[in-house]
Chains A and B, each alone.
Chain A
Amino acid sequence: MTREQTGRMKDDLTAMWNRDASLPAAPEFVQENAWVISSQRGDALAFNRLVLKWESRVYNLALRMLQHPDEAAEATQEVFLSAYKSIRRFRRDAKFSTWLYRIALNHCISRARRRPQGAHFSLDDGREGATQADQLRASDSQEGELLRAENRQRVRGALAFLPPEQRAVVELKFFQEMTFDDIAAVLGVPLSTIKSRLYAALDSLKVRLGART
């Protein structure tokens, strides 16, 4: 990075702090913004630092939305490519994660809609099945992991019955722990719609997950 680029970044950060003095002085936040600014100037390395930070969350979001590990991996790669191409249009008036989740959810909803009706979703993908078989022969200390894997399967199975729009709201509310206002901003729909989708989704999920085993 040249001295001129470094100077510009400093200017941008100073302007950002002056614009909103109430922002918390969290080093992580500053660091992420510095990476975003560098990415907007075409620095692929800086963008890949953002990828490293957010890829696990985006992948798990895609997995819960699409149900299939291979498809989720493919979608995650496409989401980051899309974000890289359009990061110059990110105006930094919202959180980077909000902007990234919006891309990811739109991408996953679009994929889910394109998928033919009755298309398969993996409740028992090969990797996890093998793990279970191994775990059945394993010691008691691994029993907890087995239970968590089963729980993940049950949750993904229940989510698969939800329409993509309801799945997106559940994803943001319970897995990304966003507020209703943030969810409305990410999905670009009114708050009342968000709540009605969430309560309808909770009704469906309660039928499949509510009973104690």
Chain B
Amino acid sequence: MIAGCSQHQQYIQRSLVDDLSPEEQLALNEHMAGCASCRAEHDRYAHTLHQLQSYGEEPLPRHFFVYPEEVETKPWQLFRRLTPSWQMATASLAAILLMAGVAAAFHVQFRSDHGAWTLSFGRPVVQGVSDLASFKADILKTAEQKNQEAVLIWIQNLRDDLARTHADVTQEQKTQLVAALSSLETRLDNRIALTADDTRTATQKSLVELYQMISQQHEQDLNVIDSRLRLDADSREVKTKQTDAILDTLIQVANLNLKQAGEQK
């Protein structure tokens, strides 16, 4: 081995895979011309490459055809076979459906209250609870509406039943049924009207009674106040009389004292 062998030995590998510049290749060739050790190293690498390149091909044991039925068609594998744009679209749709499912499960609601958007879980809280009177009125109104709706539905059901049995009944029966239904409807209307009148009358009666009760109470209160005022006045008169009597007595006593004093002089 001569000077510079270590550097040129690095070139040997590279020269065998055409990874040297022309200048480096020239330098290596010149070095190897005078260096037996590097020539031997080059031969060993060259022999290694020769063996690799003369490997040849092993014969195939069988063919490796692919049959479509062998290919598993799990949803995830079908997804992977889609093009990226379709994968993106499918994933977005799945995400939206998942979010909608979660939102439905947890009653998520977006609401606009007084111009502000809010997100909440669960059913909305009834607003305006502080206004109790209007809240009660709303409830009563709603109950009344529901009651009326129930009656109307019941009548509608009866009508439907009538329509269903239309083919099975005679004309006379039909007339009777229609008349009965109309009569029932009229009676119900009358009953609703009577109930309304009764309610109105009862309300008026209650108001009159309430007025009378309040008037009586007011009169009693006035009498009590009057008697108290009279008692106070009497009491003040008695006290005045007593004061006058005491003053008269004191004056008489003073006059007597003056007389006695004059007589003594």
Contact = CB atoms under 8 A, between A and B. Distances in A.
Contacts of B70: 81
Interface string B68-96: 10110000010011111000000000000
Interface in A70-104: 73, 76-77, 80-81, 84-86, 88-89
Interface string A135-168: 0000000000000100110110000000000000
B67 interface: yes
Nearest to B59: A56
Nearest to B56: A148
Nearest to B55: A155
Interface in A150-205: 151-152, 154-155, 170, 173-175, 180, 195, 198-199, 202-203, 205
Contact of B45 (A63, A170, A206): A206
A56 B59 CA distance: 8
B48 to A, nearest CB: 4
Interface residues of A, number: 46
Given A88-B83, A148-B56, A211-B44, A51 B71 contact: no
B54 A63 contact: no
Nearest to B62: A73
A85 B13 contact: no
Most buried by A among B19, B54, B63: B63
A59 B55 contact: no
Interface in B11-59: 13-14, 16-17, 19, 44-45, 47-49, 51-58
Interface in A40-76: 42, 44, 47-48, 51-52, 55-60, 63-64, 69, 73, 76
B225 interface: no
B44 A51 contact: no
Interface string B108-131: 000000000000000000000000
B48 A209 contact: yes
Contact of B60 (A55, A86, A174): A55
B44 A152 contact: no
A210 interface: yes
A85 B58 contact: no
Interface residues of B, number: 35
B66 A44 contact: yes
B62 A51 contact: no
B71 A173 contact: no
A64 B55 CA distance: 10
B80 A85 contact: yes
B47 A154 contact: no
Contacts of A55: 60, 63-64
A212 interface: yes
B64 A77 contact: yes
B223 to A, nearest CB: 105
20 contacts: A48-B66, A55-B60, A58-B64, A59-B60, A69-B61, A73-B62, A80-B64, A80-B65, A85-B77, A89-B81, A152-B56, A155-B51, A170-B52, A174-B49, A198-B17, A205-B52, A209-B51, A209-B52, A210-B45, A211-B47
Interface of A: 42, 44, 47-48, 51-52, 55-60, 63-64, 69, 73, 76-77, 80-81, 84-86, 88-89, 148, 151-152, 154-155, 170, 173-175, 180, 195, 198-199, 202-203, 205-206, 209-212
